[in-house]
């Protein structure tokens, strides 16, 4: 795709799953991505690596980039260097109180082609996630979307309050929290019953979603008492009652819990998406970054000499992936394994082997090095057996050492190195302020690096009080050694086992001992 073109993309209300397929498609081809605070920053990972990212949210503490400035940025970026593809990400839908119309007009006037990708608007999505259908047979046949930004006490109103109050069953106000007392007063003044139910839904569709319910008569006081803040949708109408039965999102087992995932970014997704699925807010703090070893020579030599090994032992999915990367780079394929038996520690490692066409000969029941050794003994491995272990540069030596003690010849080749990750300041802040419920550890090195990353920050002390969920006994020991509090340990030393342990610890879901 070549520019100039601007896609005005509705990024949905917050839940990254609520962006349209078309929106993601446009985002993924863009040269420039222009975004603001209402669009979920997670989407930026769907942009091209070399895409230019332009933030047009708050400039400083209170100063905003003006609409004229944003329009000018869109025109300038689209026409730069002979024409670029610009993805303009907007919260919700671009044309619903999003000033997308103004941006489109500016583009039209500048002669810049544009396309609009509608999005899921907050006025529909936030009530839906709060368990409120905005229309419902027998309750209401109509709904209105209204700006609550206008001061309801001003003399000449753009809103026909006298009609609005009683003409529609459901009214969804955007941007109305600041004016809530005025809005409710106006509706009552023009004849809406003070007993009409009202719901305020804040940060709808995100793990921070908060819903406050009341009536036209009391919701303003309740909101003030709870210090209820924007951004929120105000839903007025009898449909609000349905929430008593339909509140599906806020009743997820981990809703309201904030969990830190310390795995490397490349590996975090399985754990993170499972936790998000269960309703948790996930803060990723990759304690480990996985990088190439200093040299591929030892791995490549092993790949070339695969025929000479009796066993190849994979200890992680990463090891598998990277080893096969080199098999390919060396222009070989799975047939190189024909003469060797393959062992895989843990089901995820085994599954990764299967992806590359290798069915492991041996997957130990217990997913720790000690467990593996027992099984090897039963399989008659001993004097003279040649074993290859492709794995991280820095790992425990129990496995190679013990195999050597038993007479094996062992070659350990580093397929990756792990280095300390960089902590997001926002995550450190959350730990420091005590608004994190648990931290998950999937290996000893995630524990060590996590503590290292927090050294010298305001979160260092607070971290020791965090509820730590550990994948297994070795990881737990490391955590305890470093002064952390291990709240729960997975019975099965896998990611699903870890998730199950968290569910069990918080009394949500099946018993963790199952
Ligand atoms: N174009 C957007 C609306 C932008 S106006 C859309 O279609 O959704 C900004 C207002 O939208 C906020 O003041 C708030 O009222 C509402 N809003 C946006 N995201 C929201 C969310 N996740 N939960 C509740 N309200 C939200």
pLDDT in tens, 368-399: 666 677 788 788 787 889 999 999 887 778 88
Domain housing 206: 124-250
> Is 59 labeled as catalytic in the residue annotation?
no
Mutation choice for ligand 1 from 18, 92, 223, CB with most ligand atoms inside 8 A? 92
Together in a domain, 307 and 242? no
CA of 203 to the centre of ligand 1 (A): 8
Is residue 198 within 8 Å of residue 215, measured between CB atoms? yes
Tell me if 490 sits within 8 A of 472, measured CB to CB.
Answer: yes
281 and 428 both lie in a single domain: yes
Answer yes or no: are the C-beta atoms of 331 and 349 closer than 8 Å. no
pLDDT value for 106: 97
Atom number, ligand 1, closest to the C-alpha of residue 149 = 13
Say whether both 363 and 453 belong to one domain.
no
Mean pLDDT for 72-93 is 95
CATH code of 20's domain: 3.40.1010.10
What residues does 392 pair with on adjacent strands?
416
Task: Indicate the residue among 359, 388, 418 that finishes a domain.
Answer: 418
Paired sense of beta strands 311-314 and 386-392, if any: parallel
3-state secondary structure of 78: helix
Domain endpoint, select from 353, 384, 418: 418
- Ligand 1 pocket mutation pick from 174, 176, 207, 229 by most atoms within 8 angstroms of CB: 174
- Contacts for 254 with CB less than 8 Å, ≥ 6 apart: 275, 278, 279, 280, 502, 503, 506, 508
Residues with a CB atom less than 6 Å from ligand 1: 13-14, 38, 90-93, 96-98, 121-122, 126, 174-175, 201-205, 230-233
Residue 129: pLDDT above 90? yes
- 164: nearest Cα among 236, 86, 255, 71: 236
Q: Whose CA is nearest to atom 5 of ligand 1?
A: 97
pLDDT tens digits, one per residue of 343-356: 998 888 999 999 99
In 207-286, beta strands by DSSP E: 210-215, 232-236, 258-261, 281-284
Q: How is residue 327 annotated by DSSP?
A: H
Q: Would the CA dihedral through 454, 455, 460, 463 be positive or negative? A: positive
Confidence check: pLDDT of 1 > 90: no
Ligand 1 centroid to residue 126 C-alpha, Å: 9
Taking the C-alpha atoms of 168, 169, 170 and 175 in order, what is their torsion angle to the nearest 10 degrees?
A: 40
Q: Which of 418, 434, 451 is the last residue of a domain?
A: 418
- Return d(Cα 331, Cα 325) in angstroms, integer: 10
Q: Is residue 509 pLDDT above 70, yes or no?
A: no
Token pair 């089901």 is found at 347
Which pLDDT tens digit goes with each residue over 424-453?
Answer: 788 899 999 999 999 999 989 899 999 999
Give the residue whose CA is nearest to atom 6 of ligand 1: 92
Domain identity same for 232 and 266:
no
Q: Which CATH number do you get for residue 270? A: 3.40.50.10090
**Could you give the number of structural domains in the chain?**
4
**Could you confirm whether 151 is annotated as catalytic?**
no
Looking at residue 442, what is its pLDDT?
A: 92
Is residue 459 within 8 Å of 428, Cβ to Cβ? yes
Mean local confidence (pLDDT), 61-70: 79
Ranking 33-42, 146-155, 184-193 by mean pLDDT, the lowest is 33-42
Among residues 202, 39, 228, the alpha carbon closest in space to that of 120 is found at 39
Distance between Cα 2 and ligand 1 center (Å): 32
pLDDT digits (tens, 9 = 90+) for 196-239: 999 999 999 999 999 999 999 999 999 999 999 999 999 999 99
| Each residue's pLDDT tens digit, 472-495 | 999 999 999 999 999 999 999 999
Query: Rounded to an integer, what distance in angstroms lies between the CA atom of residue 2 and that of residue 113?
Result: 11
Of 31, 36, 93, 437, catalytic: 36
CA-nearest of 372, 346, 354 to 495 is: 346
CA of 92 to the centre of ligand 1 (A): 6
Whether residue 385 is contained in a domain is answered as: yes
Query: In angstroms, what is the span from residue 232 Cα to ligand 1's centroid?
Result: 6
- Per-residue pLDDT tens over the stretch 72-82: 999 999 999 99
256-269 as b/e: b if 16+ CB within 10 A: ebbbbbbbbeebbe
**CA angle in degrees (0–180, nearest 5) for 270-272-274:** 70
């Amino acid at each position: 795709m070549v520019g100039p073109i601007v896609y005005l993309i509705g990024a949905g209300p917050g839940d990254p799953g609520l962006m349209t397929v078309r929106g993601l498609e446009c985002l993924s081809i863009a040269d420039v991505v222009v975004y603001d605070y209402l669009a979920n920053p997670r989407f930026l990972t769907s942009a091209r690596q070399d895409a230019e990212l332009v933030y047009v949210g708050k400039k400083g503490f209170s100063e905003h980039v003006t609409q004229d400035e944003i329009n000018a940025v869109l025109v300038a970026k689209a026409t730069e260097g002979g024409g670029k593809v610009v993805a303009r990400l907007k919260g919700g839908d671009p044309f619903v109180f999003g000033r997308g119309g103004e941006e489109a007009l500016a583009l039209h006037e500048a002669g810049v082609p544009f396309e609009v990708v509608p999005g899921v608007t907050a006025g529909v999505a936030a009530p839906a996630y709060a368990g409120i259908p905005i229309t419902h047979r027998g309750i209401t046949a109509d709904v209105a979307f209204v700006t609550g930004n206008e001061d309801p006490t001003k003399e000449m109103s753009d809103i026909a309050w006298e009609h609005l109050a009683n003409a529609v069953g459901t009214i969804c106000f955007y941007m109305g929290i600041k004016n809530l007392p005025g809005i409710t007063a106006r509706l009552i003044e023009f004849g809406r019953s003070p007993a009409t139910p009202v719901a305020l839904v804040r940060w709808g569709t995100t793990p921070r979603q908060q819903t406050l319910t009341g009536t036209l008569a009391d919701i303003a006081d309740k909101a003030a008492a709870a210090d209820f803040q924007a951004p929120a949708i105000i839903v007025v109408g009898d449909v609000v009652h349905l929430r008593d039965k339909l509140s599906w999102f806020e009743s997820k087992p981990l809703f309201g819990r904030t969990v830190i995932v310390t795995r490397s970014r490349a590996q975090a997704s399985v754990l993170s998406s499972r936790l998000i699925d269960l309703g948790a807010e996930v803060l990723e703090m990759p304690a480990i970054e996985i990088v190439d070893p200093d040299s591929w020579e030892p791995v490549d030599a092993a790949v070339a000499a695969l025929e000479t090994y009796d066993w190849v032992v994979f200890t992680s999915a990463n090891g598998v992936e990277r080893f096969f990367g080199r098999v390919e780079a060396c222009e070989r394929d799975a047939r190189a394994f024909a003469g060797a038996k393959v062992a895989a520690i843990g089901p995820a490692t085994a599954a990764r082997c299967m992806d590359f066409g290798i069915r492991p000969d041996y997957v130990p029941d217990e997913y720790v090095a000690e467990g593996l050794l027992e099984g090897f003994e039963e399989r008659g491995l001993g004097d003279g057996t040649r074993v290859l272990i492709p794995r991280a540069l820095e790992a425990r030596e129990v496995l190679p050492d013990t195999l050597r003690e038993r007479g094996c010849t062992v070659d350990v080749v580093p397929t990756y190195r792990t280095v300390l990750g960089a902590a997001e300041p926002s995550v450190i802040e959350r730990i420091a302020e005590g608004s994190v419920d648990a931290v998950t550890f999937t290996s000893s090195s995630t524990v060590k690096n996590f503590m290292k990353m927090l050294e010298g920050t305001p979160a260092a002390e607070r971290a020791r009080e965090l509820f730590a969920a550990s994948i297994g006994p070795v990881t737990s020991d490391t955590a305890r050694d470093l002064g952390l509090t291990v709240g729960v340990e997975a019975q099965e030393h896998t990611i699903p086992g870890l998730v199950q342990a968290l569910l069990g610890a918080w009394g949500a879901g099946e018993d963790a001992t199952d």
